[in-house]
Amino acid sequence: MTITITAFESSPDRGRGQARDMRVRWALEEVGQPYDVRLVSFEQMKAESHIARQPFGQIPTYEEDGLVLFESGAIVLHIADHYAGLWPDGINVRARATAWVFAAQTTVEPPILERETAEFLERNQSWHEKRLPMMEQRIEHRLDQLSDRLGNADWLDGAFSAGDLVMVGVLRRLNGTPLLTGYPNLLAYVARGEARPAFKRAFAAQLAVFEGRPTEI
C-alpha cells in the first residue's frame, strides 16, 4: 500500500529541509520506499480530520496500510523496523541506534529549539539579548559532548543508521547560526549526511513544494 505523509503546504523555511517531514522523507528515500505527500495548510492542520491523525495539529504524519502514526522519531523508527537500510546488523547495534534517535530528539534538540523559538517569538523583548548567551551555552554544552563522542568517526556508532539521520536533522537546525563553526567534526558529519543521495532526493522533494513544482522527482 502507498505510504502517505503530511507536510507543510507553505513552510516558513521555504522548503529548505527544516520542517520535520524532511526526516521522514529522508528515511523513506534511504530505504527506497515511494511515498505520496498530502500538503496541509496551517488551517487544515488544526481541523478535526488532521487532529485525528496528529493530536497536536502538527506535521508530519504517516499513513500506511491502516497504520496512522505521528511523531517524526517514531515514524523514522517504524520505517527502520519495516524496511532494510536504516539499521545496521545486530540487535545491540540497533538498540544503540535507537538510543541515538532519542538522544537527538530529547537531549540535543531541546536547547536548539528553545533558541530558535526565542528568535522567532521573543526577539523584540527587552530581555532577549540577555537571555541569548545562556541559551547558546546550553547548546554548546551538548555540542561539546556530541563532538567528543563522535571524534574522528564518520557516524555515531559504526555504519550510518536512523540515529545519524535524526541527529543530522537536528544539527541542521543550527544552519544560519555560527554555533556549529567551532566543531569541525560536527560540520563534517552534517556534510556527510547531506551528501547522501537519499538526503538530496528528500531535500529536492521538499524544496519542490515551495517552488510549486510536483513533489515527485
Burial class (CB in 10 A: 0-12, 13-18, 19+), 140: middle
The nearest distance, CB 152 to ligand GTB, in angstroms, is 30
> How many alpha carbons lie under 13 Å from residue 82 in its C-beta half-sphere?
14
- Tell me which residue of 134, 146, 61 sits closest to 109, measured CA to CA: 146
Q: What is the DSSP string of 140-167?
A: HHHHHHHHHHHTT-SSTTSS--HHHHHH
User: In the 8-state DSSP scheme, what is residue 173?
Assistant: G
Q: Which of residues 7-36 bind ligand GTB (CB under 6 A)?
A: 11-13, 18-20
Query: Hey, which residues between 134 and 193 contact ligand GTB (CB under 6 A)?
Result: none
Nearer to ligand GTB, 50 or 147 (CB): 50
Size of the site for ligand GTB (CB under 6 A): 14
Mark 56-75 with x for binding to ligand GTB (rule: CB under 6 A) and - for no binding: -xxxx----------xxx--
Residue closer to ligand GTB, measured from CB, 76 or 198: 76
The minimum distance between CB 56 and ligand GTB, in angstroms, equals 7
- Residues found near ligand GTB in the complex (CB under 6 A): 11-13, 18-20, 45, 57-60, 71-73
